[in-house]
């Protein structure tokens, strides 16, 4: 089992207002068996927003080839794109 939070913390978790990543969790709540809702606050600009983290089944994880800045491809462990689309539309 992987959690989407592991992915999002490394790659996506920045303040939507100022883009910095000095973020604290104000509140965590299990929405259901597979999702956790969190309220987060940016310590730099005090912006508060909510995130939902879901458990991603093992079969939805895989390696994808991603281009690096030097032009080479690297394999990166991530959630498969179909799953990401479902998360975004959820």
C-alpha to C-alpha distance for 9 and 19, rounded to whole angstroms: 13
Of 2-10, 42-50, 63-71, 79-87, the window that binds Zn ion (rule: CB under 5 A) is 42-50
Under the binding rule (CB under 5 A), the answer on residue 26 touching Zn ion is: no
| 13, 18, 48, 73: which one binds Zn ion (CB under 5 A) | 18
User: CA torsion sign, 41 to 46 to 50 to 53?
Assistant: negative
| 39, 47, 60, 62: which one binds Zn ion (CB under 5 A) | 47
Question: Which helix (H) or strand (E) element contains residue 8?
Answer: helix 4-11
Q: Give me the residues that bind Zn ion (CB under 5 A), please.
A: 15, 17-18, 42, 44-45, 47
């Amino acid at each position: 089992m992987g959690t989407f939070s592991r992915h999002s913390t490394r790659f996506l978790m920045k303040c939507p207002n100022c883009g910095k990543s000095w973020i604290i969790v104000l509140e965590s709540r299990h929405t259901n068996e597979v999702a956790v809702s969190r309220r987060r606050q940016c310590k730099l600009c005090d912006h508060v927003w909510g995130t939902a983290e879901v458990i991603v089944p093992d079969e939805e994880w895989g390696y994808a080839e991603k281009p690096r800045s030097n032009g080479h491809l690297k394999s990166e462990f991530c959630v498969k794109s179909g799953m990401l689309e479902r998360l975004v539309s959820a």
